Amino acid sequence: MFKLMMRITGIIALSALIGAVNLCFGQAQKGTISGVVKDQSGAVVAGATVDATNVATGEKSTATTSDSGTYTIPNLTVGEYTVTVNAAGFAPTTIKSLRVSVSFNTNADATLNPQGATATVVVTSGDAQTQVNTTDQQLSTLLDNKKIIDLPLLNRDPNSLILLAPGTIQSQSALGGFAVNGSRERNNNFMVDGVDNNDTEVPGIPGGLSTPNIDATQEFRVITSNFNAEFGRNTGAVINVATKNGTNDFHGNAYIYYRSSRFSARDFFDKTGKADPLQRKQFGASIGGPIKREKAFFFFNYEGDRFTIGTQQIRTVPAALARTGIFVTPAGTCTGADLQAGHCGTLDIRPSSANNATGINLFGSRAFNYPLDPTIQRVLSLYPVGNSHSEDPLPGVLEAFRFSTTSVSKINSTAARVDYKINEKNSLTVSHQFNTGFFTGDFLGLPETFPGTGDAGYSPQRGQLLSINLISNLNPNLVNSFTFGGNRSYSAFNGEGSQGVGSTISSTINQAFTANRLPLAQAFGGANGEAINLTGGSVTGLGVFDTQFRYTGTTFLNDSITWVYRTHTFKGGYEQRWVYSNSETNFGRSESLNFSFPTSFNFPILRNNAGANISRVGLGGTLQNFASLLYGLAAIQSQSEFYDKNGARVNSNYRGFRVREADFFFQDTWRVRSNFTLNYGLRYEYKGVPYEVNGELSTLVNQDPSQVEPNGGFVFQLVGKNSGNNSQLYKDDFNNWAPRFGFNWSPAAEHGFISKLTGGPGRMSIRGGYGVFYDRVFGNLFTNARGNPPFEQDFFDLPINSTNTGTLPDILRPPTLTSSPRVPSDAEIFPDIFVLPNNNSFQAKLATPYEQKWNFGFQRELGNQFLLEADYVGSKGTDLLRVIDGQLTSVPRCNAVFHGAAGAPCGGSISTSGTTNIINGRFNDAFFQVGLNTSLGFSTYHSLQTRITKTLTNSRYGLGQVQLAYTWSHAIDNANDPLVGSAGESTRTFPRDSSGFAGGFSRPERGDAGFDVRHVLALNFTYDIPLKFSSKALDRVLGNWTMSGIYRYQSGLPYSVFGAVDSAGTGFSQRADFASTGNPNDIGPTSLTPDPRTQTGPARTLFANTTPPAGALPTFGVQGNTGRNTFRGPNFSKTDFSLIKHIPITERYKFTIRADFFNIFNRVNFGIPVATINSLNFGRSTFTVGTPRVIQFAGRFEF
């Protein structure tokens, strides 16, 4: 079916009727001029010749007006144009300073005078940002080169200016991207010169793969709503970047930008009294000009970026005395209710202590009489002592250690472009982006564990993008666009230490094991493991990051045709995309020993020798875990083992994934009248099902959630090409039709009340549109399926059980397991080995995610270069990607396991044991989780978006532009992302209530979206200060100043509050219950909001914790009643400012110096507070968002 479809698409691609245009190309990298030609009486003029000449290059394009007087000149290079209109019997009319911008239809109506009259010359403003859009329904924001250069940009990344557009939200998730009009962060489409610039593996990170720097960018446009049928691929925004091109005159620059911690404020949580280390140098040069005047042109840019930062880290370390086995609550730290309740004292667990002589009952019914483990004592030397005692998790036992860690980024990038006019009918454009980078530590989210341990992650990266575009003017009304291009990238992530230096953590652990004669040999001769990682024990874990890498890319072929016929502009197109991903992840390849004592022993709160409580309420487990570490009692031993489809063990999980995609569209821009335009079209998108080139891919066969016990257990089947089976990872979805419709009406009244209301002809437009938009399954989802059986078997042992002690000398290295696609359902409640803790499967009938989008609003010119916009924008998402627990918790299954015993977890009261609830009621006890990727997500979005733009044109008072955008919106969904949690739910992407016993299967998760921000205000301005002096020397010193700035306000992101109990058997704690504030006016948790000034949240007693009041915890399978994203985090506000001094050297040469002040008022923007009720920091923010004040200096030479 797929091959037949490809043949059909190839035939259609060669058809001259349909042509074929890419969703990304043609208009995507070019601009258009269109208009109506009339005489003085208002009658249309047919057969007039319209010439559009690029002022910089001299390139000329021609069109002829139709019977209705309309014309369209598509596929024009971005820049300034002069339009000349000639017709028999009429004097010529010339329109100068007309600005053509990327992905925009610039209107240029002309009125002709009779022959013999003086030729008419009209000079436009040249500012596309204050032009009323009278041609389509698209909502977009343009940023030209002057604004991009003049505005303060923290990282010189043009994509950061996307947040100036209405409807855009800055996320605080791990992706760090932005959400647009209710679409997720991953759903934006980045393009450079019309070419796909998206990371197909891990989309969502802002900027795409190879975005050029601001000195290589001519301009870019952000289309946020109801783009025409020529655009697709994703449901979010379309970001088109047009690179700079050469002209008939040589032009270029050299520049350097520099910032340092010497000019920066310190982070709010930095206790050292000085700013974290920071130094950044960005330097580069550009040159462009003619190869042959008015024929061929070139442009080239190089930029280097050297960035060193220091970031605040907080770690949990053992107190000095606690390392010896003595737990003490320091005097003065135990006061008030804790002191009265006897929650203070000393506990001595050393072998020589009196209460350890016969074995301390530290773990409830289990008595241990062991010495402190000598291997662990050596390992504890890696931990420094605490230095931030106000943040100590458990004073006297566990302390907080804060420090600043240094991370490095080194980037080199080049951008090149050649434009060649082959002849009068054909022109060729070739552009290429290339960048290399090297990153360490916090640039990857992998900082070193402690100062000097050398275990920070490091990553070499490379990205390339190529665009070859041939424009052929077949006749004045028929233009063809052929494009071939692609992108590719390489990224490796290593955890051995910065610059490849070995980690002192892994070497110290190895030395400690060797000194105590413990085996180091990894399973499979060491090839399948890199270190022994130590986690849990209530302290910061020790280990290294397992290496991984990926080669990804997209290759595509496109052809398009645009036909102007009378009042219609027809456009049709096709694109073929070949996506590849060659990668290995190796998650869990290193052996891990976890010292968090199994909660299944139902331990009591700790007491000292005198019988007094030693721990505060709910913290008994914290001390148990630390004591388990001191004794060397490994609660969990785990390691991932990799196999090929023949069952042979291999040393990595390398895979080569492929995806084939094809899109078609046809659209018509119909100028029904000179002031009324209809845009309608239809798009079809085929999203191929991923496969692995060697057939080493599998998925879960039995997905019937109603079946209590699948026959023979769970079975995974090989799928895809070369697997030997006809089945796929999931079934093809061929029903991806996407209609688009829009209108634009510009009232033409010239007199009366309507004229006053609308401003007159061409000064107002009323627009609206509706469309369906499809998204794609991104690579990170299906590449994770490499871990499905039989390709990965996870050794997962619980050494401490009824017979084994679990001490380090008794633990052997993990053995080689047996690979099998069948996972039998015969595991015990507490088995020694879990065959398969996790896997990643797909819904058999996975639907393609799509959104319906609509908008209605107006633009109104209020005065000269003064534009007001107001729009209602909405969307509805259906079949969105969402991960659920594929092994639904079953109360009947739970009762069957426990035979209806009184007090069983499923019989009315839940267990405080996470281990018990994971296993109870499961279809197959061998699984912890079955991550089932589904299309069960949904979303809605409604907003009011307004913007005013004023261009200052009077040089006496100063030139410049001011733009203010405000968005009032509400986004609702039932899932944020299948892999990355929102800022308000951390990494908790798994549904809290996958069983549905809290009120249904899908609806309980319905709540405010993780990026739901109700209010956003964005202001930006550039202003040339009108200081002029008659003396040239004085003017050079005191004149020619520019200032610019950006202000952004964003109300708080939502977050959830979590308890400490897994009541739904998902392996994660559930959301907390609302109890009572004691105030009858507080009817529920929605009335509780943290104080943004102090960042202190609701009192802990308001929520159920590990020792809740009677009746506060729900029954098995039911989560807390506070709901998803009930609470609101602190607001965000930031002001950036630039002061620029231009020093003219000659008419052609100029030198510029500038100072940029980021967060000039040094406002502290707190992150979302800690939302786990059993944390001592509950309700408090422990980190900041954005940077403190940073000052940057720059020098630029331009010619």
What is the tens place of the pLDDT at every residue in 823-840?
655 443 333 333 444 567
Output the pLDDT for position 179: 92
pLDDT band at 1124 (very low <50, low <70, confident <90, very high): confident
Has residue 575 got a pLDDT over 80?
A: yes
* Average pLDDT of every residue of the chain: 80
What are the structure tokens assigned to 189, written together? 């489409």
Has residue 287 got a pLDDT over 80?
A: yes
What is the tens place of the pLDDT at every residue in 766-793?
999 999 999 999 998 899 889 888 898 8
Do 193 and 69 lie in one domain? The reply is no
Has residue 274 got a pLDDT over 80?
A: no
State how beta strands 655-673 and 691-692 pair.
antiparallel
1060 domain-assigned: no
Output the pLDDT for position 990: 59
Do 150 and 112 lie in one domain? The reply is no
Do 40 and 178 lie in one domain? The reply is no
Alpha carbons 1193 and 628: distance in angstroms, whole number: 53
Has residue 275 got a pLDDT over 90?
A: no
Do 291 and 245 lie in one domain? The reply is yes
Do 442 and 581 lie in one domain? The reply is yes
Has residue 1056 got a pLDDT over 60?
A: yes
Alpha carbons 711 and 404: distance in angstroms, whole number: 55
Write out the residue range of the structural domain in which residue 113 sits: 18-126
Alpha carbons 933 and 329: distance in angstroms, whole number: 47
Do 40 and 189 lie in one domain? The reply is no
Output the pLDDT for position 361: 45
Do 156 and 286 lie in one domain? The reply is yes
Do 493 and 582 lie in one domain? The reply is yes
Output the pLDDT for position 143: 85
Has residue 921 got a pLDDT over 60?
A: no
What is the tens place of the pLDDT at every residue in 451-478?
988 888 889 999 999 999 999 999 888 9
Q: How many CB atoms lie within 10 A of CB 710?
A: 18
Q: Considering the chain, what percentage of its residues have pLDDT values greater than 90?
A: 38
State how beta strands 168-170 and 178-180 pair.
antiparallel
How far CA 1023 is from CA of 327, 535, 1044, 1138, 1153, in Å, comes to 64, 56, 6, 10, 16
60 domain-assigned: yes
State how beta strands 296-318 and 1054-1055 pair.
unpaired
Between residues 252 and 271, the one the model is more confident about: 252
State how beta strands 840-842 and 931-952 pair.
parallel
974 domain-assigned: no
Residues facing 878 on adjacent strands: 850
**1195, 1151 in Cβ contact below 8 A?**
yes
What is the tens place of the pLDDT at every residue in 944-1002?
999 999 998 887 888 999 999 999 999 999 888 888 888 878 656 655 555 554 334 44
Counting the structural domains of the chain, the total is 2
Q: Considering the chain, what percentage of its residues have pLDDT values greater than 70?
A: 76
752: alpha, beta or left, given left = phi > 0 and alpha = psi -120 to 50? left
Output the pLDDT for position 708: 43
605 domain-assigned: no
* Residue from 1124, 657, 700 nearest 929 by CA: 700
Do 167 and 203 lie in one domain? The reply is yes
Output the pLDDT for position 1090: 38
Domain boundary among 126, 154, 184: 126
Do 33 and 73 lie in one domain? The reply is yes
Output the pLDDT for position 705: 46
Do 196 and 145 lie in one domain? The reply is yes
Question: CATH no. for residue 47?
Answer: 2.60.40.1120
The sheet that has 714-718: what strands, in order across it?
A: 698-700, 714-718, 822-823
pLDDT band at 1174 (very low <50, low <70, confident <90, very high): low
458-467, 600-609, 1091-1100, 1136-1145: which has the minimum mean pLDDT? Answer: 1091-1100
Has residue 203 got a pLDDT over 60?
A: yes
Q: What is the mean pLDDT of residues 33-62?
A: 90
What is the tens place of the pLDDT at every residue in 1077-1118?
444 444 444 433 333 323 333 332 323 333 333 333 334 445
What is the tens place of the pLDDT at every residue in 727-737?
899 999 999 99
1180 domain-assigned: no
pLDDT band at 485 (very low <50, low <70, confident <90, very high): very high
514 domain-assigned: yes
Between residues 661 and 529, the one the model is more confident about: 661
Q: What is the mean pLDDT of residues 381-393?
A: 90
Neighbouring residues of 147: CB distance < 8 A, sequence distance ≥ 6? 161, 961, 1020, 1022
1132 domain-assigned: no
**1171, 1057 in Cβ contact below 8 A?**
yes
Q: What is the DSSP letter of 150?
A: H
245-259, 424-438, 1060-1074: which has the minimum mean pLDDT? Answer: 1060-1074
Alpha carbons 489 and 289: distance in angstroms, whole number: 30
Output the pLDDT for position 941: 97
Instruction: Find the radius of gyration of the CA atoms of the chain.
Output: 33
Has residue 822 got a pLDDT over 50?
A: yes
pLDDT band at 713 (very low <50, low <70, confident <90, very high): low
How far CA 757 is from CA of 133, 673, 761, in Å, comes to 17, 21, 11
Alpha carbons 898 and 921: distance in angstroms, whole number: 9
68 domain-assigned: yes
Do 439 and 498 lie in one domain? The reply is yes
Has residue 246 got a pLDDT over 90?
A: yes
Neighbouring residues of 478: CB distance < 8 A, sequence distance ≥ 6? 561, 562, 563, 564
Residues facing 660 on adjacent strands: 578
Q: How many CB atoms lie within 10 A of CB 261?
A: 18
Output the pLDDT for position 915: 44
What are the structure tokens assigned to 637, written together? 């031993």
